[in-house]
Structure 1
Amino acid sequence: MVKILTPIVALLFLAFSSYADYLGPFTPKDTAPILAKLKSSRADTSRVILYVQLSDQYYYREGRNAKELDSARLYSKAAEKLAATLHFNKGLALAYFQQAAILKLFDLPENAKQANQKAISIFIKQKNYAMLGESYYRQGGFYSLSDSEIEGRINYFKKSLDAFRSGRFTLKAGDVLMAIGELYMIHGDDQSALTYLKQSLHTYQSIGYRKLMAVYDLLGIVYKILGMPDEGIKYGIMCLRTARSLNDTSLPIATYYNRVGLLQFSLGEYKNASKNFVEGLEIAKKFKDTTTVHIIAANQASSLVRLQKYQDALRFLDSISIGFPLKELRQRYWINRAYVQLYCEIKQYNKATKYANELLKIVENSVEQSAVKERIYLTLIQYYLAKADYESAKKLVKIHKILAINSNSKELTYMNDFWQSTLDSANHNYLSALAHYQKYSALKDSVFNENKTKLISKLEVVYETEIKEEKISQLKKESALQQKMLHQASLINIIMFVGIALLLVITGLLIYGYKLVKKNNKDISLRQEEINKKNALLERLLTEKEWLMKEIHHRVKNNLHMIVGLLESQSEFLKGDEAKMALSESEHRIHSMSLIHQKLYQSDNLSSIDISPYIHELVEYLRDSFQTNSQVTFNLDIQQLEMNISHSIPLGLILNEAIINSLKYAFPDGRPGNIDVVFKQKSTQNFLLIISDNGIGMAQDFEQHNISSFGLTLIKGLSEELGGNLVIENKGGTTIQVDFKYITEEKDTAQHASLSSTLY
């Protein structure tokens, strides 16, 4: 099978890449913003995603080197570690998926397979069909194209297909169908190859996908293998027309032109073949792909020879040799064969000697594919026989015979018998020549009959495949039509029954409603008058209540300010600094409470205040009133939240005590620093308050359960009033954290009364 494919595939379809979408190439400029985000990110799920993105950036880096591949691996491991810590399964699966690709490049295929299998397990649980399809495809890529492993690759590709179909990723499903068809073609299962490639084409067409060149090209190859070159040319031409309609002149298009030219060449259409070889050659030249240039150029030279344009062929080969030189000898195999064939055709054997000798060195000094050796020996034996160098030919015929025996090829065997017959005849050994010729003739007829039988069998395969496709298409149409008719009939029945039921219900409701309305009209008119009177009374009472509440809050605020004024006056007559400091701290505490009442009487909502502006004003007040020699910067991260008075007052006092504590003790000798205040809602009922500084921190022997200062004792008591959990940390400064639940409105009233009586 490989022998049949080699001249058509031209070694381009024997390698598969990962199926995952190609993301690059990336440059350092693309990576810089992600690195900047990583530096300012927290250790949460967003950082996991950033690690995965950075791994992609280095894996798909333009001109990637070993150091960048190491970076890709490092970031993928960091993503895995953090995702595992956070129990972030989505990020963990992405990290495993990325590692599968990276580890394979580190020549760790088993580790790569295990990582990819872990990703598959998570994607299955998440029903993430897109990534599941990608992972199954990547898992299939770990299996080679050998006869013993290609089935494993096909099976995983089929799982990939099922995943993409489950997720309705039609384009991806078309890609995988084409890949499976290509694998079956290489495996020699022509019927399955044709079936999957036709399914791929229909899938693409169902969504209006236009880039069909690859699937057309593969269909052309399969039909050629099946002995239907005309059908192969038809799909090849469709491939080229599609490329032209899309203005696609990428490098693969050069290969498509070359293959169509080979199909036309096999049918003797040398002019058309030559035109397509020229088109493909121009594209290969544009991309400076020297190997592809040499392959297509050799085929073009063969077309010119068949058209008897010998001088044109010679000038053409010379221009390629000069314009696109190849340093390695084995890379000149295509052009050298073309030169030898050309000079043999025009009987200039001496000029062919140079190129024949190079071909001889290629097979003697290097390990080449058997198909390449077969072509070289074919060219050289024909060359030596044509120039009557029977000794050289005899040596190669012996080597060729060993090659034929090892490959168990009947075609090579009968060709070897033919050449041996020619040599015996040249040496006047006619009996041996006749015997070899008879072997040649008998074996050739046998091969012809076998090929004829295979061709008939393959044609039957094509016919059966097309019949099945027609039946499947017809059944799909009939099934769709029946489903549509059944749906319409069912819908009509449902509408009819629903209509009758609605009519009966409406009739009954109208009768009942008429009687009910007639009975209740009198009651409604009486009740409405009574309701109007009560509404007016309630509106008046509500207005009075709101006015009274605002007045209460206003007076409370004024009384608190009066107390602050009294304390300030009292401090003038005190001599001790400790007493003055105590009065000053009491003033700040009272001010924090008065701000609450000020907010309440200034607001339309008398039950709660917006906590964000309150905290900002309180912090601004403390910063202005508490003068220090230190340059202290406040960083506030306050969420917009409504909070009632029973929670606002304790929070304000906690903030007051914590900030004053930081201003007094955290930054001695005028050292600068930061005070961070964070207040946010963690969940529906959970809230978190954090006050932290980067000052000198507390004493080394500080213990939270053994608090002696009044301020910290007050914070502890207020935290208990809130029903919260108080945590004080002494690392790189002091951090006070209060985690509490917001109490429902029913409990708020009772706690507010209790707290007010306690504080006031």
Structure 2
Amino acid sequence: MKLLIRIGLLLCGLLLCVVLPTDAQIEHSRSYPELVSAFKKSKADTNRVQLLYDIGAYYFFNPNVASSRLDSVISMLQQAEALSIALKYPKGQGNTYRMLAMIYCKQGKPEKGKPLVYKAIQILKDNNNLADLGEAYFELGGYYTVSEIDIAERIRLSQLGLEAFTQAGNKLKQANGLKELGDLYQIKGENSKALLTLRQSLKLYQSIGYPVLQGIYDLLGNVCASLGDYKEAIRYGLLAVETSERLDGSSMQLATIYNRLGLTYYELREFEQANQYYKKSIAIARQYHDFVTIHMLAANIVRTLIYLNRLEEALAYQQDIIKKYPIDDITRRIIALGNFIDIYLRLKHYKQARYYCHELHSLSGKFNQISVETEQYAYHMLTIFYLATQQYQLAEKYRLAHKALAKRLASLPALSKNYLLHFKIDSAQGNYAAAILDYQQYKAFTDSLLTEAKTKQIAQLQIQYETEKKDQNIKLQQQNILLLTKQSLLKENQLKQAKLLRNITLGGVILLLIIIGLLYNRYLTKQRNSKKLEAQQKEINDKNLSLQRLVTEKEWLLKEIHHRVKNNLQIVMSLLNSQSAYINNEAAMLAIRSSQHRVQAISLIHQKLYQSESVAAIDMPVYIQELVEYLRDIFSTGQRIRFDIQIDPIRLDVSYAVPLGLILNEVITNSIKYAFPGTREGLITISFKQTHGNQYILAVMDNGVGLPANFDSNTTDSLGVSLIRGLSEDIDGKVCIESNHGTTVLVDFVYQKINRLNPILASDILINTDLPSETII
């Protein structure tokens, strides 16, 4: 089981262990036709070199380009090389060598590519092109595997690339380099170094707001799991899942992240959780038809089902995977056969287990084609089968083969398991003395493993401590240097400040004397001005008091004028009333009565003016109400004619109130006299509204018999209509007379408040109104 876990982790590492993405992998904003068009128009300069490089990068990183086209790309890059040499453009020359090397590798000719990378490194180093130099070091590292023989050199090259990125000040590439280096450390087994390096990478990514963090989270989770810190491993794994799901939805990288998280849960013996993430991972692998990953994940799922004691389900799942995805690889076949043997032995179906054991045995001739770890796993499963079926000689045979490989690998865990198998075989055969010795060996190796694990852990902690201590010493030295620099600057600043303070003091004294002189002069000037202002203020106050008295007297005089005008108008009404007693002519009598009503309308306005606090404005709701009451009493309408008065709280200048009062008098009088003949009942509605701003509408409507059919307000020469039209023009208003189920008179005007120093009298309004002479009484 542990071997399967190690195989799974190794495959996960290989899926993510790739050469650091280079700057050539950045997607160009221009398409291939645009690049070709720009190349044709370009001159023989550095821009053409870049265009040739970009075209080469397009072909290299485009998966749809046939490999046969790479020869033409090599020709173009050779042109870029020659042009760079002619222009003495080292950056272009170095990057061209880098791209040529990658194309040779793609063609399966690494022996041609590697020398070109070395040339690129030398050129870029000599010309201090640090960012490109860092990329070249990592690309050179890609020529070395992660095997025990090569990984040290690959780490060294990665460290050189990281140093170049750091000197260039490129934080993104520095973070990428740290991530690659951390991955190499954890593959080598230096997990403490890996953890510190990967945390530095994450910190740099976060400092520049880089969002694509699923890879670094996944590596951190894997390293934490290797260190036994499963809590942190789970935290980083879940962060990797959340980030990857948000950014790319479903990719093979996400499949790897799911699998690693599942392996962590497996180590915590949370098999249900592990199974869920294995299934998510295998679903993505199926989308991409990645059969290698599918079989690896299927093996993980089967192991979790076995430990959950869901043996029938594990068996069915393994059979279904093999049916859907036939195995064409001996390693995956051995793992699948081992699973079948384990399941059937646990189900005690020895016949079926024997079948798969024979299958596994038949592959022994090909064991030289597989890794030592896989061969060791095969011998382990054969030993378990023969032990379970009491075939002790065969069990001992394969145990010895397993032991030989364990010694070859110097694997203490494998040797420990081997002695446990030996103990079981000897015990089953009754060799108890030998079994006791076997068990003692097993315990010795187990204790040794614990000691070794502790030693490794202590060594890792020591490395971590020394690294942190070194960092702290560097920081302390930097702080000391900074402190000394600050102290030197402080002394220098203190001297400057002392000199400056002396100059400021002297200047301050001189300036203070000048200011005192100016202030004294200003004080004397202010005293003189103050006395003048006091005299002027006294004169203003006296004038204000005088003006206030004059205003008060004027208001009383205006009220008195309005009062006397009102009395005079009452005398005029009395004279008209007396005169009417001696007139027998009906028409003259009507004219006198109409004049009386008009005079009363004006008289009411003057009465309101001398009775109110304000002598300039009329309260229209009160005025109209009293005018209606007067006309109701004069014509004795009783309950036969009702009035509906809808007046907004409006106050108007006398110059507007008088014409509106006369218009209301004419319209209401006409409705009372002619709209309801005989005993007909009716309703007169009076509305005065402010529509918006200074716009007002006066409306008088009745539901009487209406106007004659041939009536035209624009051509009629009746006195009432002429008076209404003339008074409307006085206030710049528009009058509209309609007959529809009664009569409606609308007066629409804009109110413009007028400030007058003299009172407005009735005579002013009448004289300014363009009416026939006989209407003026």
TM-score category, normalised to shorter length: 0.5 to 0.7
Residues 598-637 of structure 1 aligned to structure 2 (within 5 Å): none
Cα pair 2:380 2:399 within 8 Å, conserved:
no
SS in 2 for 1:240: helix
Cα pair 2:151 2:188 within 8 Å, conserved:
yes
> Counterpart in 1 of 2:415?
413
Cα pair 1:143 1:150 within 8 Å, conserved:
yes
Give the whole-Å Cα distance in 2 for the aligned partners of 1:496 and 1:349. 99
> Counterpart in 1 of 2:239?
238
Offset of 1:175 from its aligned partner?
Answer: 0.9
* Identical aligned residues as a percent: 31
Cα separation, partners in 2 of 1:505 and 1:317, compared to 1, 3 Å: farther
Offset of 1:198 from its aligned partner?
Answer: 1.6
Give the whole-Å Cα distance in 2 for the aligned partners of 1:485 and 1:294. 67
Give the whole-Å Cα distance in 1 for the aligned partners of 2:480 and 2:434. 68
Give the whole-Å Cα distance in 2 for the aligned partners of 1:38 and 1:368. 51
Question: 1:420-470 CA deviation, whole Å, 9 max, x = no partner?
Answer: 333334344444434333333333333333334434544565677678889
Give the whole-Å Cα distance in 2 for the aligned partners of 1:339 and 1:264. 23
Give the whole-Å Cα distance in 1 for the aligned partners of 2:375 and 2:3. 14
Give the whole-Å Cα distance in 1 for the aligned partners of 2:98 and 2:502. 58
Partner letter of residue 444 of structure 2? A
Cα pair 1:211 1:242 within 8 Å, conserved:
yes
> Counterpart in 2 of 1:740?
none
> Counterpart in 2 of 1:395?
397
Cα separation, partners in 2 of 1:346 and 1:485, compared to 1, 3 Å: farther
SS in 2 for 1:62: coil
Residues 3-152 of structure 1 aligned to structure 2 (within 5 Å): 6-10=7-11, 12-13=13-14, 15-21=17-23, 23=25, 30-39=31-40, 41-106=42-107, 109=110, 111-152=112-153
> Counterpart in 2 of 1:727?
none
Partner letter of residue 101 of structure 1? M
SS in 2 for 1:17: coil
Give the whole-Å Cα distance in 2 for the aligned partners of 1:226 and 1:181. 14
Partner letter of residue 425 of structure 2? L
Residues 257-296 of structure 1 aligned to structure 2 (within 5 Å): 257-296=258-297
After TM superposition, the structure 1 stretch with the greater mean CA deviation from structure 2, 176-185 or 476-485, is: 476-485
Give the whole-Å Cα distance in 2 for the aligned partners of 1:487 and 1:234. 47
Offset of 1:260 from its aligned partner?
Answer: 1.7
Partner letter of residue 117 of structure 1? Y
Give the whole-Å Cα distance in 2 for the aligned partners of 1:135 and 1:287. 31
Give the whole-Å Cα distance in 2 for the aligned partners of 1:72 and 1:503. 77
Cα separation, partners in 2 of 1:108 and 1:63, compared to 1, 3 Å: same
Partner letter of residue 270 of structure 2? E
Give the whole-Å Cα distance in 2 for the aligned partners of 1:238 and 1:75. 44
The total of aligned residue pairs comes to 508
Residues 482-561 of structure 1 aligned to structure 2 (within 5 Å): none
Offset of 1:473 from its aligned partner?
Answer: 9.0
Residues 217-228 of structure 1 aligned to structure 2 (within 5 Å): 217-228=218-229
Cα pair 2:193 2:464 within 8 Å, conserved:
no
Offset of 1:282 from its aligned partner?
Answer: 2.2
Offset of 1:186 from its aligned partner?
Answer: 2.1
> Counterpart in 2 of 1:297?
298
Cα pair 1:336 1:358 within 8 Å, conserved:
yes
Question: 1:583-608 CA deviation, whole Å, 9 max, x = no partner?
Answer: xxxxxxxxxxxxxxxxxxxxxxxxxx
Give the whole-Å Cα distance in 2 for the aligned partners of 1:241 and 1:433. 52
Cα pair 2:202 2:216 within 8 Å, conserved:
yes
Cα pair 2:91 2:129 within 8 Å, conserved:
no
Question: 1:636-689 CA deviation, whole Å, 9 max, x = no partner?
Answer: xxxxxxxxxxxxxxxxxxxxxxxxxxxxxxxxxxxxxxxxxxxxxxxxxxxxxx
Give the whole-Å Cα distance in 2 for the aligned partners of 1:470 and 1:5. 36
Give the whole-Å Cα distance in 1 for the aligned partners of 2:482 and 2:249. 37
Question: 1:114-153 CA deviation, whole Å, 9 max, x = no partner?
Answer: 3223323333344333212211221232333344443322
Question: 1:155-197 CA deviation, whole Å, 9 max, x = no partner?
Answer: 2222221222222211111110111112122223333222211
Cα pair 1:184 1:192 within 8 Å, conserved:
yes
> Counterpart in 1 of 2:428?
426
Residues 310-321 of structure 1 aligned to structure 2 (within 5 Å): 310-321=311-322
Give the whole-Å Cα distance in 1 for the aligned partners of 2:68 and 2:357. 45
Offset of 1:6 from its aligned partner?
Answer: 4.2
Cα pair 2:12 2:256 within 8 Å, conserved:
no
Give the whole-Å Cα distance in 1 for the aligned partners of 2:318 and 2:485. 64
Cα pair 1:24 1:57 within 8 Å, conserved:
no
After TM superposition, the structure 1 stretch with the greater mean CA deviation from structure 2, 89-98 or 325-334, is: 325-334
Cα separation, partners in 2 of 1:500 and 1:172, compared to 1, 3 Å: farther
Partner letter of residue 452 of structure 2? E
Offset of 1:258 from its aligned partner?
Answer: 1.3
Offset of 1:263 from its aligned partner?
Answer: 1.7
Check if 1:162 corresponds to 2:163.
yes
Offset of 1:364 from its aligned partner?
Answer: 3.2
Cα RMSD between the aligned structures? 4.1
Cα pair 1:4 1:225 within 8 Å, conserved:
no
Question: 1:556-602 CA deviation, whole Å, 9 max, x = no partner?
Answer: xxxxxxxxxxxxxxxxxxxxxxxxxxxxxxxxxxxxxxxxxxxxxxx
Question: 1:211-267 CA deviation, whole Å, 9 max, x = no partner?
Answer: 222222222222233233333333223322333444542111111221121122122
> Counterpart in 2 of 1:371?
373
After TM superposition, the structure 1 stretch with the greater mean CA deviation from structure 2, 450-459 or 212-221, is: 450-459
Residues 678-757 of structure 1 aligned to structure 2 (within 5 Å): none
SS in 2 for 1:13: helix
Cα separation, partners in 2 of 1:198 and 1:435, compared to 1, 3 Å: same
Give the whole-Å Cα distance in 2 for the aligned partners of 1:480 and 1:209. 31
> Counterpart in 2 of 1:173?
174
SS in 2 for 1:12: helix
Offset of 1:105 from its aligned partner?
Answer: 4.1
SS in 2 for 1:10: helix
Question: 1:494-531 CA deviation, whole Å, 9 max, x = no partner?
Answer: 899889989999999xxxxxxxxxxxxxxxxxxxxxxx
Partner letter of residue 384 of structure 1? Y
Partner letter of residue 397 of structure 2? K
> Counterpart in 2 of 1:711?
none
Give the whole-Å Cα distance in 1 for the aligned partners of 2:23 and 2:363. 39
Cα pair 1:377 1:400 within 8 Å, conserved:
yes
Consecutive unaligned residues of structure 2, counting only runs of 5 or more, are 511-777
Question: 1:340-377 CA deviation, whole Å, 9 max, x = no partner?
Answer: 22222222232234443444445531421222222232
Give the whole-Å Cα distance in 2 for the aligned partners of 1:261 and 1:480. 49
Offset of 1:291 from its aligned partner?
Answer: 1.8
> Counterpart in 1 of 2:230?
229
> Counterpart in 2 of 1:653?
none
Partner letter of residue 57 of structure 2? D
Give the whole-Å Cα distance in 1 for the aligned partners of 2:360 and 2:486. 67
After TM superposition, the structure 1 stretch with the greater mean CA deviation from structure 2, 147-156 or 128-137, is: 147-156
Question: 1:525-561 CA deviation, whole Å, 9 max, x = no partner?
Answer: xxxxxxxxxxxxxxxxxxxxxxxxxxxxxxxxxxxxx
Give the whole-Å Cα distance in 2 for the aligned partners of 1:394 and 1:301. 28
Cα pair 1:421 1:436 within 8 Å, conserved:
yes
Provide TM-score, normalisation by structure 2.
0.57
Cα pair 2:19 2:138 within 8 Å, conserved:
no
Give the whole-Å Cα distance in 2 for the aligned partners of 1:166 and 1:336. 54
> Counterpart in 1 of 2:642?
none
Cα pair 1:227 1:458 within 8 Å, conserved:
no
Offset of 1:476 from its aligned partner?
Answer: 9.3
Cα pair 1:61 1:68 within 8 Å, conserved:
no
Consecutive unaligned residues of structure 1, counting only runs of 5 or more, are 509-760
Question: 1:60-83 CA deviation, whole Å, 9 max, x = no partner?
Answer: 232454412222222211211232
Partner letter of residue 326 of structure 1? I
> Counterpart in 1 of 2:185?
184
After TM superposition, the structure 1 stretch with the greater mean CA deviation from structure 2, 484-493 or 168-177, is: 484-493
Provide TM-score, normalisation by structure 1.
0.59
